[in-house]
Amino acid sequence: MTLIVAKFGGTSVANVERIKAVADIVIATRKRGHQIVVVLSAMAGETDRLIELAGQAATTPDSRELDVLLSTGEQVTIALLSMALQERDYPAVSYTGGQVQILTDNVHNKARIIDIESARVKKALTEHKIVVIAGFQGIDESGNITTLGRGGTDTTAVAMAVALNAHECRIYTDVDGVYTADPRIVPAARRMDRLAYEEMLELASLGAKVLQIRSVEFANKYKVPLRVLSSFEEGRGTLITDEDEEMERALIAGIAHNRDEAKLTLRGVPDRPGIAGAILGPIAEAGIEVDMIVQNTGVDHTTDFTFTVHRNDFAKATVLLGKTAQELGAAEVLSDDRIVKISVVGVGMRSHAGIASKMFSALAAEGINIQMISTSEIKISVVVDEKYLELGVRTLHSAFGLENGSAIMNDAVG
Amino acid sequence: MTLIVAKFGGTSVANVERIKAVADIVIATRKRGHQIVVVLSAMAGETDRLIELAGQAATTPDSRELDVLLSTGEQVTIALLSMALQERDYPAVSYTGGQVQILTDNVHNKARIIDIESARVKKALTEHKIVVIAGFQGIDESGNITTLGRGGTDTTAVAMAVALNAHECRIYTDVDGVYTADPRIVPAARRMDRLAYEEMLELASLGAKVLQIRSVEFANKYKVPLRVLSSFEEGRGTLITDEDEEMERALIAGIAHNRDEAKLTLRGVPDRPGIAGAILGPIAEAGIEVDMIVQNTGVDHTTDFTFTVHRNDFAKATVLLGKTAQELGAAEVLSDDRIVKISVVGVGMRSHAGIASKMFSALAAEGINIQMISTSEIKISVVVDEKYLELGVRTLHSAFGLENGSAIMNDAVG
């Protein structure tokens, strides 16, 4: 008998009717002969309601007490699902994070799981019970309630799957899988049957609303197969596993985009060792994260230095860079928040040349000018004017043949 | 530094504004130099909301899971009060029943406290923290969440006061104390400054909405002074302590009434040993509780046997008694649910004669016919037609001089 860990998020448990629908899925899984551990979020909107209450009680609510408050959200759903299962004669038992003993560090509101004491859950499973666990929460070593931060329920599910050596961790959500591109931009986007952990990490922008990145990292580290599927309709979803050498794989898994970034350029800075640190030091000290960084050698021993930050940090970064420019004697600061980052992602590109040139040619053929380029082993990202977002994504989706799933190795190598 | 345990019920924490008002009271108590442990209920209405959700999830919700669900109610309020206190720079820390380690038996929904591990709370007090504890809940020895049943928060407060050897247990509510009679019936009713545990127990009908009887029994057993007072207005409330021999006490503490009972009479049953058991046996087996019992010797070796039950059990008891009447060859069954029980209560009557005759004379002077009489050491109860409720209570309140507080020993002895 194989063990499945199944996680249901807020919209899947939005009300008692939805919780009963979750009971249907759990029972169906059980009927197919699986043991099952269910991990639940709070009802959609409940966490916001509790945060609203906290905001009324204090302008800056104490972080320990905020965790005491927020952890009630999942406690409600686990009790309701267990009742619904028992009502249908399926033995079920609920456990809070503290009852399981999901041990975390003591960083309230964004704790990290240190260890899981799985004895209690294992015992319940041997007694043929369906175990229903509160996601998002744990306790520190002093017994204080902690929460893992928003989306932490995914992390709980993956961590439970690791602790119990589960066959698969299923993340039920309101979409039926991960797509080759955002279907709102590319109507022809296709649900992927399968992709590699690393691809999922790079495709964060496609999966962010579906899967917490931290949980994917965790699943990758411990090699737990993750499956994303819908709690609203039947289907096989998208399986996220280790890269499979044997498998005939698509060269490109999908096209991601990100419109949350803004670009800053320092033109004409003296090209000497240590210049990058001098430019980015003040940015880092201000707690601003930098994504892409590009430096070109310019003329006359000067260089142009460009990087991107989140749009929320754009104004702050622009001010900081202005000061740095004066100090370094740079020619000028250019800033632009009307950009978008488009990426092609696929583990297949590791062993195949020609992806970059195919990408650039396809964009050029549509008259899309590339402002920045950045590459990793399994990803090529370009920054373009934001007006090209839809055109760029669709062009690449089509160029790599993603709409018909034919982008397997031999076809795709241009 | 003396330790105060203060309990606030549902209406006192009905919303965040009220919770902030509770913070005011807690801080004022602290400023008067007390250590303070606060025990809270769920927000008014919250328990009902959760029960409603449970009813949607299952027609007969599992009792263990119901406790997991209901215990979230207090967890929300303890977090919010702790935040509100910290916001005002008073160090506070909240604990759930499980975190304190309020150990109960495993009778879900109506568990009883077995033991309290007070080390954690004591440590927090030595660190000068205000400790905020979730009432109504605990854990069994397997770590399952339990609840004590409605009103259990009072019991938690008293039990915490016992465990911590507190100076006083204050029960904050929406009335400013216990009255000599129901003020809705007797406008001249007076708040008592002080009364004995036993009196409070007998005055249950006056105090039922104010104090859980179980918590008074508990306070009596461990001799914890209880004070009932209002969270909405300042005042000294009513102090409930052990009977004080030294004190010049009122002969009668108050007048209680109860209109929830109904009366059944079996007329003309053979007067032989064992007849009472034969009559009440089937009633007890049906789980019906009997309150007053009166048996008179009748004529011709027969007797009339009368008892009262809760009105909810009246129809069922009437049917059962009809069968018993046939078996015993009784003359007839008389039943009446239009009755009311009126009681005068006071530890003073223990050592003073004449209370009963004064009571009966006062009622007779108003033409009120007494249907049944029952006495205990500190209480005399009569059953009268329910139309005499207001007149009877007012007559006795006046006869014993309760409105001006002059019913002290020497005055009152007729």
Tell me the mean pLDDT per 10 residues along chain A, length 414. 94 95 97 97 94 96 97 98 97 97 95 95 97 97 92 93 96 91 92 90 73 87 94 92 66 90 91 85 90 78 89 94 91 93 88 84 93 88 94 95 60 30
Taking 80 as the threshold, does the pLDDT of residue B300 lie above it?
Answer: no
SS3 content of chain B, % helix, strand, coil (to 5): 40, 25, 35
- For residue B168, the surrounding DSSP H or E stretch is strand B168-173
Question: How would residue B213 be classed by pLDDT, with cut points 50, 70 and 90?
Answer: confident
Q: Which residue of B has its CA nearest to A99?
A: B143
- Other Cβ atoms closer than 10 A to A22: 24
The minimal CB distance from A86 to the residues B16, B58, B96 is found for B58
The minimal CB distance from A72 to the residues B53, B57, B76 is found for B76
- Contact of A63 with chain B, judged by CB distance below 8 Å, is answered with no
Rounded CA-CA distance B399/B414 in Å is 10
Residues of B in contact with A66 (CB under 8 A): 79, 83
Structure tokens at B296: 């008179």
Query: Measured between alpha carbons, how far is residue A60 from residues A52, A361, A372, B87 in Å?
Result: 12, 52, 41, 7
Contact B264, B294 (CB under 8 A): no
Q: What pLDDT digit, counting tens, does each position of B318-369 carry? A: 999 999 999 988 889 999 999 999 999 988 887 777 888 899 999 999 999 9
- Contact of B53 with chain A, judged by CB distance below 8 Å, is answered with yes
Q: What is the pLDDT of residue B134?
A: 98
Contact A184, A206 (CB under 8 A): no
Contact A390, A255 (CB under 8 A): no
Question: In sequence order, what DSSP letters do the residues of B322-378 get, joined into one string?
Answer: HHHHHHHT-SEEEEE--EEEEEEE-GGGGG-S-HHHHHHHHHHHTTPPP-EEEEETT
Q: What is the pLDDT of residue B67?
A: 97
Q: What is the pLDDT of residue B207?
A: 64
> To 10 degrees, what angle do helices A72-87 and A46-57 make?
150
Could you say which DSSP state residue B34 is in? -
From first CA to last CA, the distance across chain A in angstroms is: 46
Q: What pLDDT digit, counting tens, does each position of B118-153 carry? A: 999 999 999 999 999 999 999 999 999 999 987 799
- Other Cβ atoms closer than 10 A to B190: 17
* Minimal C-alpha gap between A318 and chain B (Å): 35
Rounded CA-CA distance B221/A279 in Å is 74
Could you say which DSSP state residue B251 is in? S
Looking at the DSSP assignment, which residues form a beta bridge with residue B190?
none
Q: What is the pLDDT of residue B80?
A: 98
A80/B53 touch (CB, cutoff 8 Å), yes or no? yes
Q: What is the pLDDT of residue A410?
A: 33
Rounded CA-CA distance B135/B160 in Å is 10
Mean pLDDT of chain B: 90
Q: What is the pLDDT of residue B413?
A: 29
- For residue B80, the surrounding DSSP H or E stretch is helix B72-87
Structure tokens at A398: 């089509």
At B235, which amino acid appears?
A: G
Q: Write phi, then psi, for B262 (nearest 5 degrees).
A: -135, 155
Q: What is the pLDDT of residue A151?
A: 75
pLDDT cut 90: percent of chain B above it: 68
Q: Which residue of A has its CA nearest to B144?
A: A99
- Contact of B142 with chain A, judged by CB distance below 8 Å, is answered with no
Rounded CA-CA distance B74/B96 in Å is 8
- Contact of B21 with chain A, judged by CB distance below 8 Å, is answered with no
Looking at the DSSP assignment, which residues form a beta bridge with residue B308?
B263
What is the ipTM score, two decimals?
Answer: 0.81
Q: Which residue of A has its CA nearest to B99?
A: A143
Query: Measured between alpha carbons, how far is residue A143 from residues A27, A103, B94, B119 in Å?
Result: 33, 9, 12, 13
Q: What is the pLDDT of residue B408?
A: 40
Question: In sequence order, what DSSP letters do the residues of B95-159 get, joined into one string?
Answer: E-HHHHTEEE-S-TTS--EEEE--HHHHHHHHTTPEEEEE-SEEE-TTS-EEE--TTHHHHHHHH
The minimal CB distance from A57 to the residues B16, B71, B72 is found for B16
A62/B84 touch (CB, cutoff 8 Å), yes or no? no
Taking 60 as the threshold, does the pLDDT of residue B409 lie above it?
Answer: no
- Other Cβ atoms closer than 10 A to A118: 19
B306-B308-B314 Cα angle (round to 5): 115
Q: Number of CB pairs < 8 Å for A and B? A: 114
pLDDT cut 70: percent of chain B above it: 94
- Contact of A80 with chain B, judged by CB distance below 8 Å, is answered with yes
Q: What is the pLDDT of residue A298?
A: 66
Residues of A in contact with B98 (CB under 8 A): 98
Q: B311-321: b or e for each residue (b if 16 or more CB lie within 10 Å)?
A: eebbeebbebb
Q: Which residue of B has its CA nearest to A139?
A: B99
Rounded CA-CA distance B199/B379 in Å is 8
Q: Write phi, then psi, for A135 (nearest 5 degrees).
A: -80, 175
- Contact of B62 with chain A, judged by CB distance below 8 Å, is answered with yes
Q: Which residue of B has its CA nearest to A101?
A: B143
A58/B86 touch (CB, cutoff 8 Å), yes or no? yes
The minimal CB distance from B87 to the residues A58, A66, A79 is found for A58
B310-B312-B314 Cα angle (round to 5): 70
B344-B347-B350 Cα angle (round to 5): 95
Q: What pLDDT digit, counting tens, does each position of B272-282 carry? A: 878 888 899 99
A68/B78 touch (CB, cutoff 8 Å), yes or no? yes
Q: What is the pLDDT of residue A274?
A: 81
Q: What is the pLDDT of residue B406?
A: 43
* 3-state SS string for chain A: CCEEEEEECHHHHCCHHHHHHHHHHHHHHHHCCCEEEEEECCCCCHHHHHHHHHHHHCCCCCHHHHHHHHCHHHHHHHHHHHHHHHHCCCCEEEECHHHHCEEECCCCCCCCEEEECCHHHHHHHHCCCEEEEECCEEECCCCCEEECCCCHHHHHHHHHHHHCCCCEEEEEECCCCCECCCCCCCCCCCECCEEEHHHHHHCHHHHCCCCCHHHHHHHHHHCCCEEEEECCCCCCCEEEECCCCCCCCECCCEEEEECCEEEEEEEEEECCCCHHHHHHHHHHHCCCCEEEEEEEECCCCEEEEEEEEEHHHHHHHHHHHHHHHHHHCCCEEEEECCEEEEEEECHHHHHCCCHHHHHHHHHHHCCCCCCEEEEECCEEEEEEEHHHHHHHHHHHHHHCCHHHCCCEHHHHCC
B76/A143 touch (CB, cutoff 8 Å), yes or no? no
Could you say which DSSP state residue B42 is in? P
Q: Which residue of B has its CA nearest to A91?
A: B62
Among left, alpha and beta (phi > 0; psi -120 to 50; other), residue A401 is left
Residues of B in contact with A59 (CB under 8 A): 87
Tell me which residues of chain B, numbers 92 to 131, contact chain A at a CB-CB cutoff of 8 Å. 92-94, 96, 98-99, 120
The residue whose two tokens read 């893992």 is A148
Q: Write phi, then psi, for B137 (nearest 5 degrees).
A: -135, 160
Within 8 A by CB and 6+ apart from A280, the residues are A290, A293, A307
Contact A385, A337 (CB under 8 A): no
Q: Which residue of B has its CA nearest to A93?
A: B65
A65/B94 touch (CB, cutoff 8 Å), yes or no? yes
Question: How would residue B210 be classed by pLDDT, with cut points 50, 70 and 90?
Answer: confident
